[in-house]
Amino acid sequence: MHSFFHHHASILPVEPVSSEVPVLHDAELAAIYYGERKGGDFYDFLRVSSNRVVFGLLDVAGRSEQNRTIVAAAQKTFREKSLELLSSDTVNEADAMTEICLHLNHTILDLETDGVRSCPAFVGCYNENLGILCYSNAGHTPALVRDGTSIVELPATGLPLGLFSHATCDAPMAAIPLGGAMLLVSRGVVEGRRHGEEFGLSGAKKTLQHSTASAKGLCRALIEDVRQFMGTPPTHNDVTALSLVRNSS
């Protein structure tokens, strides 16, 4: 795993570090950007214990060259607090996730030098022993969970980060069934347009409904479906997909 601590720990990182996707027991995680990142989409993964993996997808307002420092600082907070709060066997995952969101919120607020910078975010803690996802959705596009033939939305549980210093974000649980999958997409996916019509969350649901692929395959299928829908490379905004697929046995 790449480390933040190339320099003294008190010095804020200037660039986010690239993260390796952890290998999961009986499941798979993946995420893909389409082409070059232009906006504030950023994902990260981290194993925090023998049976827990955390992941996050953030969408920091503004262009990537403006918000790189905020993204890097948010990643540092996400990793440090996740390891600190979620590595114990007896931890209450919901309390820990709520606290991680509070720390992320403060990190983003502390670095906003040019006014308010809204940051929708989805952070999840997947418990491999139980097949349970504990998540906080801070004003982000809903995550989609496929359970057999039905699809469930995991909607916002709080406001976007970076707006209010005392805003809290609830952390409910969702089961990822055997053979089930979770798909999380960025706003750029939903806003993909053709002839005034949006790809929308309904487009992402169709991809998830019909995909029998691995996590990486599901992300690739989603990006390809957006590209085909638009009839042009989707460079209007960051187009990002993150997925968790649980094995059927």
Instruction: For residue range 70-104, list pLDDT tens digits in order.
Output: 888 889 999 999 999 999 989 999 999 999 999 99
The string of pLDDT tens digits covering residues 119-145 is: 899 999 999 999 999 999 999 999 999
pLDDT band at residue 244 using 50, 70 and 90 as cut-offs: very high
The rounded distance, in Å, linking the Cα atoms of 225 and 65 is 28
- pTM of the complete model beyond 0.75: yes
Contact 178, 248 (CB under 8 A): yes
Q: How confident is the model at residue 199 (pLDDT cuts 50, 70, 90)?
A: confident
- What digits encode the pLDDT tens for the residues 102-111? 999 999 898 8
**Per-domain boundaries in the chain:** 27-246
Band (pLDDT 50/70/90 cuts) for residue 192 is confident
Q: Over 90: is that where the pLDDT of 62 sits?
A: no
Check: CB of residue 111 under 8 Å from CB of residue 85: no
Mean pLDDT of 59-70: 73
In CATH, the number for domain 27-246 is 3.60.40.10
